[in-house]
């Protein structure tokens, strides 16, 4: 199990996401961004737009995705 923060994923806050796989954490961050924006949190709007842009343009989003996977791989296990 590893933990990454919203900030490490390009967002503005210190909310943490834990998982055994980078994909789990990426998914949790997507949900977190969507919820934050839905709740009127304007500080998450830029990160939310960037996330939507990645879905629309998977090729350009790949760089971000690979970086997150690399960051995740470099993290220590925290159980
Ligand atoms: Zn956040």
How far apart are the C-alpha atoms of 25 and 19, rounded to whole Å? 6
Residue 60 C-alpha to ligand 1 middle, in angstroms? 22
pLDDT of residue 17: 98
Residue 6 C-alpha to ligand 1 middle, in angstroms? 5
pLDDT of residue 66: 94
Residue 32 C-alpha to ligand 1 middle, in angstroms? 6
The tens digit of pLDDT for each residue in 33-74 reads 999 999 999 999 999 999 999 888 888 789 999 999 999 999
Residue 50 C-alpha to ligand 1 middle, in angstroms? 13
pLDDT of residue 57: 86
Write down the pTM of the prediction.
Answer: 0.89
The tens digit of pLDDT for each residue in 13-31 reads 999 999 999 999 999 999 9
pLDDT of residue 79: 63
Residue 64 C-alpha to ligand 1 middle, in angstroms? 17
How far apart are the C-alpha atoms of 40 and 32, rounded to whole Å? 13
């Amino acid at each position: 199990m590893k933990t990454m923060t919203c900030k490490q994923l390009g967002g503005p806050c210190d909310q943490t996401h834990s998982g055994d796989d980078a994909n789990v954490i990426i998914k949790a961050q997507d949900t977190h961004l969507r919820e934050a924006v839905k709740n009127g949190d304007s500080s998450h709007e830029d990160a939310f737009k960037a996330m939507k842009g990645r879905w629309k343009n998977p090729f350009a989003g790949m760089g971000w995705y690979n970086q997150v996977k690399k960051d995740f791989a470099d993290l220590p296990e925290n159980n």
